[in-house]
Every structure is written in C-alpha cells, then in structure tokens.
Structure 1
Amino acid sequence: MPPQRSTRTRLRRVGTMMRTLRESADKTGYDAAERLQCSQAKISRMETGDVGVKLAELEALLGYYLATDEQRTRALTVWKESRHKSSWSRFADALTERFRAYAELESDAALIQRVDISLVPGFFQTENYALALHKAAPHFPSQINIDRAIEARKKRQRRLDDDDPPKVHAIIDEAVLHRLVGGPEIMVEQLQHLHDLSRRRNITIQVLPFGAGAYATLGGPFIMLVFADPEDPTAVYREHLGGGSWVEDPAEVDQYTRTFDDLRKAALSAKESANLIREVAADLDPR
C-alpha cells in the first residue's frame, strides 16, 4: 500500500471518524443535520467522504458529539491532510467526478476484487482495446477526452508495476472473452495480454463459464476495494453506463463480499481460466 494516502482516502477517514463519534454519542443523521442547519443527505455524504467538511462544521460536530481531546486532535489532523489537492483533479475533462474519487481510492487499495460481465477490466485493457471501446460510444467524451481517458487508464495500470503492487482478483464472465471488441486482431492482442497478466504472482483471473448458469451479478459489474489499514473500511463500487455508485454500508458490503466468494467457487480455477483464455485467442488467430 502506498505510504502516502490519497485525498479521497483521507476524506473517507474523516467521515468514518465523524460517523463513529455520532453513533457513540447516540445521535442520528437528523440530529447532526439540525445542528449544522443542513440536509441529512449532506451529513450522509460527509460521512462517506463524498464531500469535504468545512473546519467550522467539523468543530461544531466534534463539540456536539462530546469528542475527547484525543479524538478532536486526531480528527483535525486527518482533516488538514484531506485539504491537499487530488492528483486526479487534472483528469476532470476525461473522468467523471465520481470515477476520479474511485481512482483515488483504488490507488490506496491493498486488494482489488472485481466482477466483470461484459468487458475486460479497465486495469487489464490494452490501449487498442480501450480505444475501440471509446469509439463504440460516440455519445460520450470527444476525441480529446478519449486521449485523456486513456492516459488516465495508463496511470491506473502503472500501479501493477509498482514495487509493492496491489493484489488483484478478477472474475470475468466467459462472454468477455468472446466479444469481438475492435475486431479479431485487437481481441487476440487483448487476450494474450490478459493471459500474460494471469501469470503474475499478485494477479488472479478466473473465468465464470457459460455452464455456471445464472448468477447474482448478471445485472452489473462491481469492484471491492480492501485496504491494509483497518481504519479504512472496505468499499464497493458498482459500475454502470456513464458512471457508478458507492456501497459503504457494512451490511451491504458484507453481501457483496459473500457474493464474490460464491462466484469465486463457481468460476474455473486460475489455471483452467488461463488455458481457456489461451484457447479462445488461438481460435481467433489463424496463424
């Protein structure tokens, strides 16, 4: 895990601390909203790190929750750290605000677990595959933004080459291997890259075969980010067309954790999956 946490992780930590203090003080979100004269939705977004907390708001809530001197000092320290500008802000022309927040959290995750049902995960996409995907969505960002989006994707992928890379466990539907994104030549390149990645010690790729039948996440892909520091709870990001949404409620996160474990058991082993990826690539390549 990188020694310096991202802005998003710090915001999340401030929010987690405030939620814990609120619950310990036996206060509701409505109570906190009344204290700040704001909406409950704002309190919720502050506690999940979706929005920043102003110093005056933080001080008011710390007093309202009867925080100890130690808790106050800790909260103010993390709050000051969260004021640093995000390294992902320069991609505002290529990524949505919510996905920039995701990219920040991803950069701090020690373990990334994801389920993909229709496309190769962005972490594993070749440049040609990614470009073909963008060209297939003409109603989304312009050519200039496509270039920037691919640059942002490369920035994310460089984490895989870090001295201390995250562990990545990806479960992909077999349909992903057969969908000809960009044509046979681009798809062969992508599948070969996927096979090469599967040989890395920190990467596990499992294919969920057609024979597995229906499964819980056929409605959409999701990603779980697990952090080395126990102060940072696991977060789930659900992807959909044009954006995504967060799941951070512990009970819901637990449901996704159990679902991922079920899919892991239903999928082919890593070795069987690598063999299948190689076979599909060979069928597409007549040479």
Structure 2
Amino acid sequence: MSERYSPTVRRRRLSEELRRLRHDARMTLDDVVKATEWSRGKLGNIESGQRQRPQVAEIRTLLDTYKVSDPGIREAVLSLCRQSRERGWWVRYRDVLSPKFVGFEAEASVICNWELAVVPGLLQVPEYVELISRTALVRDPKDVQRVVDARIERQRVIFEDPPDDVWLVFDETALVRLRDHPTVLRTQVARLIEAAERPEVTIQLVPHTRLHPGTGGPFVIMDFPSTVDPSVVYLETDTDGLYLEDVDEVARYRRLFDHLRLTALLPEETVPRLREMIA
C-alpha cells in the first residue's frame, strides 16, 4: 500500500456515506439510537468521524438498520471502514505532527500553501527546522531531533509519489530573518531553488516591502483526486488546527490565495530573487 494512501480521507468518506444512507432511509439520529440502543454520542462520533477506528460490526449494524441489502453497496461501505482503520505512517510522530492534517495532505492531489512567517514545511531543510524549533522554545535536543525527523519523513513521503500540483507562496520575510544565520540561509535557499525545478512544484515569494492580503495567517488548501472527497482548508493554530470544508469558505480562501499569487513575484522572477540572496 502506498504511503500516500490515507485512512483519514477514507474515514471522512465513510462518515459522508453513512449520513447519506441514513437520510435515504428517512431516519433521524434519534430513530437510529432507538433502533440500535446506542448512545446518541456514539452514533454522532461515528457519523462525524470522531471515532478514529470504527468497528466493522458497528458499520454492519448500521447497514442493517438502514435496510441496505445491495451486496455491492454493503461491501463498498464495509471496505471503507476497514481502510479507515489502517494506521498511517504519521502515527509514530503524532507527538510532533498533526495526524489529521498530515492524513489529509497524504492523499491530496493539489496542495496550495500560504505562509506568512516561515518557509513552507514541505521544503524546510533540517538546519532550518532545528533553528525554528529552538526559537519556538523546544529545548531538549531529543525533542528537536524528533521534530526534524518528522518533517523530513513527511517530505520524503510526499515527494516520492508527488501530488499533481504543489503551489507554495510565502512572505520573503521568512528568509530575510535568516541573515543572521548565513549558513542556514544558504542551505535553505539552495533547497528552494532545487525544488522549483520539479515539475509539480511552483514557488512564489512576496517581497517583504509589499503589502498583501495574507496577514490573517497561514493556510493550506487541499484538493483530492476523487470528486467524492470535498476540498479542505487547514488553518494552523497552537493546537491541532481548524479544518474548513464548507463550499463557500473554501471558495473564499481560493480567492485569497489567487490574490496572494498576484501580489507575489512570478515563479520565473522568484528563482532569480532567491539566487540574489546567496550570491
């Protein structure tokens, strides 16, 4: 199984399918609670995807309750349940990575990332990760190394089987701040220049002298290869982050990203600007 296969995406798809089948059966949550003798909380957690590893027997009970007799539909839903119970590679780094975010990212076909204050994580070099980790008050060398290892593993998985499109726009200030760390600056910029040559990667810098509409903070828009999987906007917070799936909210962030692209240097202007920084 590919490391970019995502149980997170399958779990969300399972939740959508279960809600659809309940609506087709013309049953409310209370109707299902009464029929199954489950708590409303348990049913709600299964439908919302909060139950991380739903049991196949539980899903089979719901299919029986909804009177789903078509063997093809039953097996498709049960397969989604089995797939959602798999463990992604990121589980071993769950103390330093957001499992839900990396789970979505793992299967995204298009990733659009705006960063206000740092280099996008998918292109950070180990020296840069170590520097910003220590700046974020991660003091124990073992903890710092764990953050570095998780970041590098994330990059390896993504770029071994890359998405169709990775579009990274960020404020040049993230690099300007590295002038007091010339070795890190040179290594990081060299990585950006190298990555810009990849066919699926587009990098744009917003010059630090330009006003832009991205001061509200960083975000990532993720689209998926299957039309049954809705796009997601991830807003980073101090905890796990905020995930937006409402069509209007996603559209609003797409417009914002388009404006940021227009504000930034063109891709063909960005690489020369990067070269100037380490000339």
TM-score by length of 1: 0.82
Match of 1:265 among 259, 262, 270: 262
Determine if the alignment matches structure 1 residue 223 to structure 2 residue 220.
yes
Q: What CA distance in whole angstroms lies between the structure 2 residues aligned with 1:242 and 1:4?
A: 24
Q: Offset of 1:213 from its aligned partner?
A: 1.8
Alpha carbon RMSD of aligned pairs, Å?
Answer: 3.0
Q: What CA distance in whole angstroms lies between the structure 1 residues aligned with 2:180 and 2:126?
A: 11
TM-score by length of 2: 0.84
Q: What CA distance in whole angstroms lies between the structure 2 residues aligned with 1:183 and 1:67?
A: 62
| Cα deviation digits, residues 250-283 of structure 1 (max 9, x gap) | 332222222222222232210112222222333x
Match of 1:245 among 242, 246, 250: 242
Deviates more, 1:179-188 or 1:72-81: 179-188
Determine if the alignment matches structure 1 residue 37 to structure 2 residue 39.
yes
Q: How does 1:5-20 map to 2 (within 5 A)?
A: 5-20=5-20
Q: How does 1:1-287 map to 2 (within 5 A)?
A: 2=2, 5-25=5-25, 36-39=38-41, 43=44, 46-48=47-49, 51-67=52-68, 69=70, 70-95=72-97, 99-138=98-137, 140=138, 142-159=140-157, 161-162=159-160, 164-166=161-163, 167-180=165-178, 183-210=181-208, 212-215=210-213, 217-282=214-279
Identity of aligned residues (%): 31
In structure 2, stretches of 5+ residues that fail to align are: none
1:213 match: secondary structure: coil
Give the aligned residue type for 1:53.
P
In structure 1, stretches of 5+ residues that fail to align are: 283-287
How many residues are paired up? 275
1:274 match: secondary structure: helix
1:236 match: secondary structure: strand
CA gap of 1:269–1:53, structure 2 versus 1, over 3 A, is: same
C-alpha contact (below 8 Å) 2:113/2:169 kept by paired residues: yes
Give the aligned residue type for 1:240.
T
C-alpha contact (below 8 Å) 2:212/2:263 kept by paired residues: no
